[in-house]
Copies of this chain bind each other. A is one copy, B any other.
């Protein structure tokens, strides 16, 4: 008889994965996966082999010779990239290499949040961010978005409402550049207004800039961190969306001494050395050109997804045309419930993100969905959207036309 671990589980272990991984569905429109052919496998292979031959023996020590914040040459290169691309001026002592930006987020949450705390964030948001807050007993407090990102009138109203209640939020969590899932890019004037509001109400800002390299035009506003002269902004980024998600290389930028409080919470004795060494060797002189080459490919995928939606959903699907990133936030008629659509579509090998999970007030957004276009080839995008429209029609009688042909 098998031992009954269920009687021993902690209160945090309620969630359960029902069975081992069964493979990805064919039409995989979820998650931050990228286009596989764009992973610079040969260049990474060459870089990692070279650096390990030269410096690999240092792996005999935890942290090599760089200490718990991560391989120093990589931190230096991250600083150079942030300077060049985001307008940020940070020393390597303020950078921590993490196992993806998800670990950075976990560390910031652990350092700052107690149960009962409140965090302000965009009303539609990365599902993982909302889940992580709730798992900690923290209340995510939604702030309205428009096509340019988080609204400053709504942010001030939220801060003032909380102040009137005597509640000080622990931080403002924001994805200003290619907001997830809406894809907006917050203009510089709103970034400055956010800093002014954060100062007025005395709250820190946690800027998640994970998609910021993927603005199709190649130009982006400076990071909020770059505009901050008070060390009020904590920042995270990643190489998952530009190099490869499975590398698990993200980073956190935080002022010392906050960094001094975060380091003891990183209890895994460092993130992988091979990944750190490979990136430190690969990135210099190559990163910008690699990203520049990605952008038109992503633009083409975005265009393909939009065209497929226009063709197969017509007026039933509305969205803001993406200016960057790898996802599209789609609004369907209110009679469509994307939780039901998710289940039905999955039976046909199509996976979508439900609006209920990508918003703080999920019930209000059950007619929305997020579609990721970074991973699938163009034909798969076209086929998948056509099939999704079929499933949607079967379930909800919508969309009523496919192209110029009436359904049903």
Contacts and interface: CB of A to CB of B under 8 A. Distances in A.
A110 interface: yes
Interface stretch (A146-154, A157-165, A213-221, A262-270): A262-270
A93 B375 contact: no
Nearest to A68: B21
Interface stretch (A99-107, A182-190, A306-314, A349-357): A99-107
Interface string A337-362: 00000000000000000000000000
Interface residues of A, number: 102
Interface string A93-127: 10000011011001000111110000000000000
Contacts of A69: 20-21
Contacts of A3: 204, 230-232, 255
Q: How many copies does the complex hold?
A: 2
A18 interface: yes
B10 A111 contact: yes
A13 interface: yes
A18 B267 contact: no
Given A232-B3, A273-B275, A60 B45 contact: no
Contacts of A15: 261, 264
Interface stretch (A29-37, A363-371, A384-392): A29-37
Nearest to A169: B8
Contacts of A335: none
A69 B20 CA distance: 8
A240 B270 CA distance: 12
Given A41-B57, A49-B48, A110-B10, A62 B31 contact: yes
A2 interface: yes
A290 to B, nearest CB: 13
A63 B17 CA distance: 15
Contacts of A12: 110-111, 265
Interface stretch (A242-250, A296-304, A316-324): A242-250
B256 A20 contact: yes
A53 interface: yes
Contacts of A59: 39, 41, 244-247
